[in-house]
Amino acid sequence: MPKEATTATPTIQAEPIEISVLAALELKRLNLACLIDVRQRFELEIEGEIDGAYSLPLFKFKHLLGHELTQEEQEILDEDSPGMEDIQNFLTMINDLHNAKDCIVVCVCNSGKRSINAARLLRLLGYNRAFSLIGGYRAIQEAMVTGLARAKAGDSTQ
């Protein structure tokens, strides 16, 4: 009796969409990557901004691209509705990225959750080198504190 042929379904390995803080900051330092801060304006006011990052709140980004927002996202967007200047800044930034599609784009939010959605949206637009920062802004802050602590510890041993 002949054996039945089994067909194995090939698994498609998706390219990683997340990047570590150290890798992202080093790429930015070398001018090989740009950071897009997808936090809402009120979050920037509370937590602080990231030096040299473009500010493009995710909910505005999704709205301007015509993606449906959840009720919670819509309520947040309604409180901070994009004006004409926001739309012009969005289009300018997307145009700048379009002209340099090979640049590495690192999306940052507070914890790394919304930035994954932003990186996926950018990849759908053809920016295959869009990534989400693991741990978000909080991870940057932690890396800065840890780096300062290490630097101070190194100074005290001399």
| CATH superfamily, with its number, for domain 18-151 | Rhodanese-like domain (3.40.250.10)
Can you give the pLDDT at residue 10? Answer: 43
Which tens digits make up the pLDDT trace of 66-78? 777 677 766 666 5
Can you give the pLDDT at residue 52? Answer: 85
- As beta bridge partners, residue 104 has 33
Can you give the pLDDT at residue 86? Answer: 62
Give CA angle at 102 (69, 55), nearest 5°.
Answer: 40
Other beta carbons less than 10 A from residue 74's beta carbon: 13
- Rounded Cα–Cα distance for residues 72 and 75 (Å): 5
- Rounded Cα–Cα distance for residues 78 and 63 (Å): 11
Which tens digits make up the pLDDT trace of 103-132? 789 999 999 888 998 898 888 888 888 999
Which residue ranges of the chain lie beneath pLDDT 50?
A: 6-13, 157-158
